[in-house]
């Protein structure tokens, strides 16, 4: 059997297919316990700390509610309120927090930072998003796919539309390759995933009977797809100056009803959120007005439509993050 006790959760390339499937099963069990109101304070007496160098709604709240449901205490440190990175190194911070806490969540910039933390903490470290990877997100995404396709995900095709070089797209490529789903990155040349990730994924995909494809042709990319996925065009930590070019490059890759119509009739739409689809929201509104557009990465029609499962996906963040904490701390 699988035993993840004491392990870090830094990126999905570190986990086998069997381990990822185990975490998804565990997530489903936790979802049932939550639904039926069955207490599951399995980690009573433990404490965790959440270190955020970027903002968050879903990830932070998933760790907090998940930890409380498991009976643990939680400390949240926001981007400005600890010494880390300013008066104290990541290594020293890790050595201190590792003596207080049983587990550490980190959201930040460089993947090397979360790896430094893990190397020095002496307790499990969970990656809540870096510039390179967003591994907890993919567990929620795949759980949502399983729920919509009666568990039968092998051989299904997931298409990521837009900024396919970002943390979410890269992580989706890995999880699809490990679980036997075909992955398609559909975007402009300038926004394709880095070669090293593609090269790492191709043999994994081949071993699991699926493919990794990169294309700039929307019709070719989305034909027959089972999951259409997108994310914001500009990620946290990127300079404001990239917006103009990004909009120009990515407008042809917006998820519209026409795109959905070319996918499989049972296709679902996913988005990790937050989304700029609602141009009434602050940054969305500001950028839409500045660049004279009315829709961002996905139209309101698709986002609010029957194929959209984005709020089930968001809920699943909590159940899956709970599973990661339980598996690594038990
Ligand atoms: N999907 C996701 O990570 O959302 P937050 O930035 O709100 O945590
Ligand atoms: N690619 C996005 C994902 C947010 C959950 C970002 O890094 O900002």
CA of 168 to the centre of ligand 2 (A): 7
Query: Quick check: helix, strand or coil at residue 301?
Result: helix
Tens-digit pLDDT profile for residues 269-292: 999 999 988 777 788 888 888 999
**Of the options 3.40.190.10, 1.10.3720.10, 3.20.20.70, 3.40.50.1370, the CATH number for the domain spanning 12-133+317-329:** 3.40.50.1370
167 ligand 2 Cβ < 6 A: yes
Q: How many helices (H) and strands (E) does the chain have?
A: 13, 9
141 ligand 2 Cβ < 6 A: no
Cβ-based neighbour number of residue 96 at 10 Å? 16
- Residue 75 structure tokens: 């400390």
* 7 assigned binding-site residue: no
pLDDT value at residue 22: 98
Mutation to probe ligand 2, out of 54, 236, 298 (largest number of atoms < 8 A from CB)? 236
Report d(CA 220, CA 169) in Å as an integer: 18
Q: What is the DSSP string of 99-115?
A: HH-SEEEEE-S-HHHHH
272 ligand 2 Cβ < 6 A: yes
Report d(CA 260, CA 227) in Å as an integer: 9
CA of 103 to the centre of ligand 1 (A): 20
Nearest to 230 by CA among 146, 161, 278, 165: 161
**Which residue's CA lies nearest to atom 4 of ligand 1?**
58
Given the structure tokens 């990541």, which residue do they identify?
90
pLDDT value at residue 269: 98
CATH T-level fold of 150-265+268-306: Rossmann fold (3.40.50)
* 38 assigned binding-site residue: no
Indicate the pTM of the whole model: 0.97
Topology alike, domains 12-133+317-329 and 150-265+268-306: yes
Which residue numbers in the chain have pLDDT < 70?
none
Task: Tell me the backbone φ, ψ of residue 298, rounded to 5 degrees.
Answer: -145, 145
* 5 assigned binding-site residue: no
Any idea where the domains of the chain sit in the sequence? 12-133+317-329, 150-265+268-306
Q: What is the DSSP string of 175-231?
A: HHHHHT-EEEEES-GGGPPPHHHHHHHHHHHHHTT--EEEES-HHHHHTT-SEEEE-
232 ligand 2 Cβ < 6 A: yes
């Amino acid at each position: 059997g699988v035993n993840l006790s004491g392990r870090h959760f830094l990126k999905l390339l570190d986990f086998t297919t069997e381990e990822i499937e185990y975490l998804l099963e565990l997530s489903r069990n936790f979802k049932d316990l939550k639904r039926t109101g069955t207490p599951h304070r399995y980690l009573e007496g433990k404490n965790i700390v959440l270190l955020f160098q970027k903002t968050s709604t879903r990830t932070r709240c998933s760790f907090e509610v998940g930890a409380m449901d498991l009976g643990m205490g939680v400390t949240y440190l926001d981007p400005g309120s600890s010494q880390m990175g300013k008066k104290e190194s990541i290594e020293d911070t890790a050595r201190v927090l590792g003596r207080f806490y049983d587990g550490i969540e980190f959201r930040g910039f460089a993947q090397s930072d979360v790896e430094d933390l893990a190397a020095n903490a002496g307790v499990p470290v969970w990656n809540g998003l870096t510039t390179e990877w967003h591994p907890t997100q993919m567990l929620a995404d795949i759980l949502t796919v399983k729920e919509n396709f009666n568990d039968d995900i092998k051989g299904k095709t997931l298409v990521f539309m837009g900024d396919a070089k970002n943390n979410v797209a890269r992580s989706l490529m890995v999880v699809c390759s490990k679980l036997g789903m075909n992955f398609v990155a559909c975007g402009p040349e300038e926004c394709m995933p880095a070669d090293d990730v593609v090269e790492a994924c191709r043999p994994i995909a081949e071993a699991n009977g699926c493919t990794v494809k990169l294309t700039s042709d929307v019709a070719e990319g989305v034909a027959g797809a089972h999951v259409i996925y997108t994310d914001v065009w500009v990620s946290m930590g990127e300079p404001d100056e990239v917006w103009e070019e990004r909009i120009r490059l990515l407008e042809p890759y917006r998820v519209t009803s026409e795109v959905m119509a070319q996918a499989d009739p049972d296709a679902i739409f996913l988005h990790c959120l937050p989304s700029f689809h609602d141009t009434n929201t602050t940054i969305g509104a500001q950028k839409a007005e500045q660049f004279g557009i009315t829709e961002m990465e996905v139209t309101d029609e698709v986002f609010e439509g029957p194929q959209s499962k984005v709020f089930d996906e968001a809920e699943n963040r909590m159940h899956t993050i709970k599973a990661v904490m339980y598996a690594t701390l038990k």
